[in-house]
Structure 1
Amino acid sequence: MRNMVKNFSSNIPKQKTRKIWMKKRSKHWWNTIVKSETFDDQMVENFRMDKQSFQFLCEKLSPALSPSAIVVREAIPVDMKVGIALYKLASCAEYRVVGNQFGVHKSTVKKCVYEFCRAVVDVLLKDEIHLPDESECLSIIRGFEEKSGVPQILGAIDGTHVPIRPPLDGGADYINRKGWPSMVLQAVVDCNYLFMDITCKHPGSVHDATVLKDSYLSINIDKFKFPKATINGVEMSAFFIGDPAYPQLPWLIKGYTGTLDPVEDSFNAYLNRARIVVENAFGRLKGRWRILQKRIDIDVKFVPHIVATCCVLHNILERRRSPYRETWNTDTSTMSDLLTQPASTNITSTLQGDEIRNHLKLYMAQNFPLIRSIKSNV
């Protein structure tokens, strides 16, 4: 009997000691090339910012991105996390491609992108994107008046559609009027192409006027103190400007539509000189962060974090005068041809908004030469 037990136990295979296994990947590009002194010029192309701005970002986000004290494997340092996330946002490459570039697994890339975007939103959003205070308002008004001649403009409002991968449940809601899935990004931009307010939570089928109604700006508009000035003997509060997709309100003025007389057409031309800043801001935003040009291969619930992160980074880099390459605009134009932005539809005006616009129209006609808008020249 003892021999039987002995023989039986000897046939049981011995358990092998488990080892933590990880495929070896090369970090040569990051450790050797990126960190070399000769990489400065390529820094802008790969990460869309100069080295000083990159270091500034790492310092700001270090408390939020530093690895925990207890780790099983070698932790990803903060600067590498930032680099991985920026490379993804700038190139819109697949997780696998980014992982191969940095020598990490694709799941690590995804984790870095999510951590980085959450950190940017939690740490930097409120400081970088906010409505202006009194002194900032006056500076912005002067900036817009220098650009257009129109007084009391505080910002330009517009929307753009960001391509997404729609969810299986309710995906039809995300199909915009051009027939492709998107989320709407609405932004208020100042005279220096900086975002002052953003809203990105609505499916592509939602009208711009509805997005405006749900925005932080609209909800808190009664709390905002608009600077006032006397224009041709009439006290007038500052206002934002938008395209025909928005309702005309006392605080939101848009151009004339329909059959226009020369004075109305001229007013539109001057107003468009100011409103172009929001279109330029969107162009520079998408030029830097190409992930916003193609279908974002990320869960639709996290897309607002991606968009908000790109807007925050845009403001930081514009304020720091970080280089922007005009060749990036070519990429944006190419994608715009493939995914045409949905056209806006007109919304009715309020009487008070019309009175303000008419007064501005007369002021411009009395103080500036009549000019023709682009549409009237076509």
Structure 2
Amino acid sequence: MKFLNIVAKYPGATHDSFILTNSNIYELFDSREIGIGWLLGDSGYPLRPWLMTPILNVSTEAEECYNRGHMRARCVVERSFSLLKPRFRCIDNSAGTLLYGATKSCDITVGVAVLHNMCINHGIPLPPDENHCDRRHIAKQQYLGHLNDGATVRRRLINGRFS
């Protein structure tokens, strides 16, 4: 589980979807410069042709299967973040406050992601497994504008892979 893109320049309370929509990776996918593959987001993200979100009101077995597959894939993402704290204790603060200033904390976050990738490249074992994955990302879905293109792509994905 490597980090392929990381943005660490916003305060912790900033919503993930805001960070994504203000990132280079969003622009690359939205402009179709990256034309293959999908990003996965929880239900707080807007559905796009390249950004798949879970289905809130499942009505078919295929949709339920899609949601299960989506959840398993999202668990990989969540687990990647959970691996950083045990591996790099400098970012593990149980009190929930920054140990350093905001700018330095952002630099440290990017640094530990890079170091994590280096550990993977060099076969350094991961810390013990911690399962931080749950179904909360499905339950908080909200309507975020006109999403027909994303809904069409998601429907094709479900019909082609989960039916």
TM-score if structure 1 supplies the norm length? Answer: 0.37
Deviations 1:192-247 (A, max 9, x none): x11111111112332221111111211333263323xxxxxxxxxx2211111111
Q: Rg larger in 1 or in 2?
A: 1
- 1:196 equivalenced with 2:4 (yes/no): yes
Aligned counterpart, 2:26: 218
2:159 is equivalent to residue 362 of structure 1: yes
Q: Tell whether the 8 Å contact from 1:199 to 1:215 is kept in structure 2 after alignment.
A: yes
8 Å Cα contact 1:240/1:252 also seen in 2: yes
Contact 2:49 2:154 in 1 (8 A): no
Query: 1:254/1:321 Cα in 2 relative to 1: closer, same or farther (>3 Å)?
Result: same
Tell me the alpha carbon deviations over residues 66-117 of structure 1, each in whole angstroms, 9 at most, x when there is no partner. xxxxxxxxxxxxxxxxxxxxxxxxxxxxxxxxxxxxxxxxxxxxxxxxxxxx
Counterpart Cα distance in 2 of 1:291 and 1:264:
41
Question: Identity over aligned residues, as a percent?
Answer: 25
Report if aligned partners of 1:199, 1:216 keep a CA contact under 8 Å in 2.
no
Map Cα deviations across residues 350-375 of structure 1 (whole Å, 9 max, x no partner): 10110011111112344xxxxxxxxx
Instruction: Judge conservation of contact 1:244–1:254 (CA < 8 Å) in 2.
Output: yes
Question: Given the alignment, which residue of 305, 311, 324 partners 2:126?
Answer: 324
User: Which residue number corresponds to residue 141 of structure 2?
Assistant: 346
The Cα offsets for residues 257-303 of structure 1, whole Å up to 9 and x where unpaired, read as 13543221111112222222111211212220122221332112211
Alignment of 1:159-170 (within 5 A): none
Relative to total residues, which structure has the larger strand share, 1 or 2?
A: 1
How far apart, CA to CA, are the structure 1 residues paired with 2:85 and 2:62? 35
Residue 323 of structure 1 deviates from its aligned partner by 2.0
The runs of 5 or more residues in structure 2 that have no matched partner are none
**Does structure 2 conserve the Cα–Cα contact (< 8 Å) formed by 1:252 and 1:353?**
yes
Query: Equivalent residues in 2 for 1:1-378 (5 A)?
Result: 193-221=1-29, 222=31, 224-227=33-36, 238-294=37-93, 295-326=97-128, 329=129, 345-347=140-142, 348=144, 350-366=147-163
Distance 1:354 1:360 in 2: 10
Q: Which amino acid aligns with 2:70?
A: L
Alpha-carbon distance in 2 for matches of 1:223, 1:292:
35
Using the alignment, how far apart are the partners of 2:127 and 2:34 within structure 1? Answer: 37
**Alignment check: 8 A CA contact 1:200 1:304 kept:** yes
Structure 2 counterpart of 1:60: none
Write out per-residue CA displacement over residues 12-39 of structure 1, whole angstroms, 9 at most, x where no aligned residue: xxxxxxxxxxxxxxxxxxxxxxxxxxxx
User: Over the residues paired in the alignment, what is the CA RMSD in angstroms?
Assistant: 2.3
Q: Distance in 2 between matches of 1:365 and 1:322?
A: 36
Counterparts in 2 of 1:214 and 1:310: CA distance versus 1, 3 Å? same
TM-score by length of 2: 0.81
Aligned mates of 2:43, 2:90 — CA distance in 1: 28
Instruction: Work out the CA distance in 2 between the residues paired with 1:323 and 1:208.
Output: 29
Shift of residue 307, structure 1, vs aligned partner: 0.4
Contact 2:47 2:147 in 1 (8 A): yes
Which consecutive residues of structure 1, in runs of 5 or more, have no partner in the other structure?
1-192, 228-237, 337-342, 367-378
Cα pair distance change 1:226/1:259, threshold 3 Å: closer
Match of 2:70, SS state, is: helix
**SS of match in other structure, 1:200:** coil
Matched residues, number:
152
